[in-house]
Amino acid sequence: MLGESRLAEIAQRVLREAKADQTEVMVAATDSHLTRFAVNTIHQNVSETDATVRVRSILGRKTGVASGNELSEAALRKLVRSAETVASFQEENPEFGSLPGPKQAQKVDAFVERTAEYAPAERARGVEKILSMSRKNHLDAAGAFSTEANETYIANSLGVSAYHRGTVASIVTVIMGADSSGYATAASIDVADLDPEAVGRIAVEKALSSKNPTPIEPGEYTVILEEAAVGDMLFFLGWMGLGALAVQEGRSFMNGKFGERITGEKITIWDDGADPRGLPLPFDFEGVPKQKVTLIEKGVAKNVVYDSFTAGREKGKTSTGHSLPAPNTAGPIPLNLFMAPGTATKEEMLASTKRGIWVTRFHYTNILHPVQTILTGMTRDGTYLIEDGKIVRPLRNLRFTQSILEAFSNIEALGKNLVLLKDEWNSVGTCAPAAKIRNFRFTGTTD
């Protein structure tokens, strides 16, 4: 971590050096640490210190981008010249308007000193709590305990200047028996919120209760999806069609549906980069404050998110603060998704289910048809048969092939708790409840 003043100094040096008509600079620094374990031992334990400087130069309507991680004056000068050189080779983009002007983003306190300072030995002690529980039960534990501090500074030659720093801590574990496994996870900006023992206990209980799984015929079943499975669907929904570019290119499930019901009325989904229940970032990668955007409200398609480029293509639209780092041809994406919780506990959902399948999480989910929102994937780490309101036996893993919107139209109940689910690849979090859904389609098994 370099601190706000050092990041600002780097950004201002870039802007002073710039000769383009407009210039944008993003400076990001991270200190990240991850203790990874498998077969009841720590086998990978890593630390990384890095910084990125990304410069976007605009010459008329031509754009060039260059990035690097060297911070010397000479390296920054070279970076600016590179961005300006590639911009000069560009073709004019008639749809490019301007970089955004300054707007004040709200400050969000998302930095916890103890997370940033957490030591390798502390992570190892946390992991050891999970490992000892696993050993005691003759199981094998795998997983990762990570802590990270990050900071981002965005500035441009029109006066934008935005700084945010945050921390993230997360634990994920899969605990396995000979023919069974259990999963649990926890994430927070504050490492003190994480309870490795509680995470380990859930995974151990699932690993023990999923021994001797038996097959079941594929088909349509009522399912109780735990939060991780619902979060997976929510994440894909965001990528497939909740950004303005997808709509402008006619490839979103929202096309032609605004104001119409597209899911059951229990479904309300929004994006909020300032909500501390998620992993906040109060502005986007153009430095535009993130607005809270309601995407689907009581089942009705309401809005998608915009960056400055896509907003400039539509009359009366302004950026909602959802740009990704330049260059970006994927368009704006909601990265702080929330689904409104319901009122049920998972125990109540279970008690009300005559026959169904309990799903802990999905694995290797992928898109089959983005407009029809059809995904496929496997169940993993705790799949059970429900009969007469009780879990009666563990099942072998099943493959599902299912439209998300169709599943969200068949919601019978939503969980009362929102759980923060950190993406494995980025410090991006989705907040989702558990869900009970009828007619969920399984198309294969691992038999």
Partner 1 sequence: MRDYANRALNQAQAKGATYADIRIVRRETQNIEVKNGIVQTLSLGDTYGFGIRVVANGAWGFASSHRLENAEIDRVAALAVAIAKASAISKAADVDLGPAECHVGTYATPMKTDPFQVSLEKKIDYLLSSDKEARAVQGVRVAESTLGLERNHKIFASTEGSYIEQTLTETGVGVVVTAVSEGEMQQRSYPNSFGRHQGTGGYEFAETWDLPGNARRVAEEAVALLSAPQCSSGVTSIILDGPQLGLQVHESCGHPIELDRVFGTEAAYAGTSFLTPEKFRNFQYGSKIVNIVSDAVTPGGLGTYGYDDEGVPAQTTDIVKNGQFVGYLTSRETASQLRKIHPDAPARSNGAMRADGWNRIPIIRMNNVSLLPGTWTLDDLIADTDDGIYMITNKSWSIDDKRLNFQFGTELAYEIKKGKLGRMVKNATYTGMTPKFWAGCDAICNKDHWHVWGTPNCGKGQPGQVAHTGHGAAPSRFRNVQVGVMK
Near partner 1 by CB under 8 A: residue from 14, 28, 76, 143: 143
C-beta of 8 vs 42, nearer to partner 1: 42
Count the neighbouring beta carbons within 10 Å of the beta carbon of residue 258.
Answer: 13
- Asked if residue 424 lies in contact with residue 147, where contact means CB atoms within 8 angstroms, the answer is no
Interacting span for partner 1 (CB under 8 A) from 59-67, 297-305, 352-360, 412-420: 59-67
Asked if 113 is part of the footprint of partner 1 (rule: CB under 8 A), the reply reads: no
Asked if 65 is part of the footprint of partner 1 (rule: CB under 8 A), the reply reads: yes
C-beta of 308 vs 397, nearer to partner 1: 397
The nearest distance, CB 333 to partner 1, in angstroms, is 16
- Binding to partner 1 by CB under 8 A, coded x per residue (else -) over 423-442, reads -xx---------------x-
Asked if 259 is part of the footprint of partner 1 (rule: CB under 8 A), the reply reads: no
Asked if 365 is part of the footprint of partner 1 (rule: CB under 8 A), the reply reads: yes
The nearest distance, CB 129 to partner 1, in angstroms, is 10
CA atoms within 13 A on the CB side of 130: 36
Asked if 149 is part of the footprint of partner 1 (rule: CB under 8 A), the reply reads: no
Asked if 394 is part of the footprint of partner 1 (rule: CB under 8 A), the reply reads: no
Near partner 1 by CB under 8 A: residue from 44, 98, 214, 343: 44
Asked if 374 is part of the footprint of partner 1 (rule: CB under 8 A), the reply reads: yes
- Binding to partner 1 by CB under 8 A, coded x per residue (else -) over 264-303, reads ----------------------------------------
The 3-class secondary structure across the chain, one letter per residue, is: CCCHHHHHHHHHHHHHHCCCCEEEEEEEEEEEEEEEEECCEEEEEEEEEEEEEEEEEEECCEEEEEEECCCCHHHHHHHHHHHHHHHHCCCCCCCCCCCCCCCCCCCCCECCHHHHCCCHHHHHHHHHHHHHHHHHCCCEEEEEEEEEEEEEEEEECCCCEEEEEEEEEEEEEEEECCCCEEEEEEEECCHHHCCHHHHHHHHHHHHHHCCCCECCCCEEEEEEECHHHHHHHHHHHHHHHCEHHHHHCCCCCCCCCCCCECCCCCCCEEECCCCCCCCCCCECCCCCECCCEEEEECCEECCCECCHHHHHCCCCCCCCCCCCCCCCCCCCCCCCEEECCCCECHHHHHHCCCEEEEEEEEEEEEEEECCCCEEEEEEEEEEEEEECCEEEEEECCEEEEEEHHHHHHCEEEEECCCEEEECCCCCCEEEECCEEEEEEEEEEECC
Asked if 140 is part of the footprint of partner 1 (rule: CB under 8 A), the reply reads: yes
Residues touching partner 1: how many (CB under 8 A)? 92
Count the neighbouring beta carbons within 10 Å of the beta carbon of residue 446.
Answer: 13
Near partner 1 by CB under 8 A: residue from 11, 18, 99, 127: 127
Interacting span for partner 1 (CB under 8 A) from 58-66, 110-118, 263-271, 292-300: 58-66
- Binding to partner 1 by CB under 8 A, coded x per residue (else -) over 207-246, reads ----------------------------------------
- Binding to partner 1 by CB under 8 A, coded x per residue (else -) over 152-191, reads --------------------xxx-x---------------
Interacting span for partner 1 (CB under 8 A) from 4-12, 160-168, 358-366, 384-392: 358-366
* Amino acid occupying residue 376: T
The nearest distance, CB 106 to partner 1, in angstroms, is 30
C-beta of 148 vs 284, nearer to partner 1: 148
Of residues 68 through 107, those in contact with partner 1 by CB under 8 A are 68-71, 79, 82-83, 86-87, 89-91, 93-95
Rounded Cα distance, 338 and 414, in Å: 13
C-beta of 318 vs 445, nearer to partner 1: 445
C-beta of 331 vs 415, nearer to partner 1: 331
C-beta of 283 vs 362, nearer to partner 1: 362
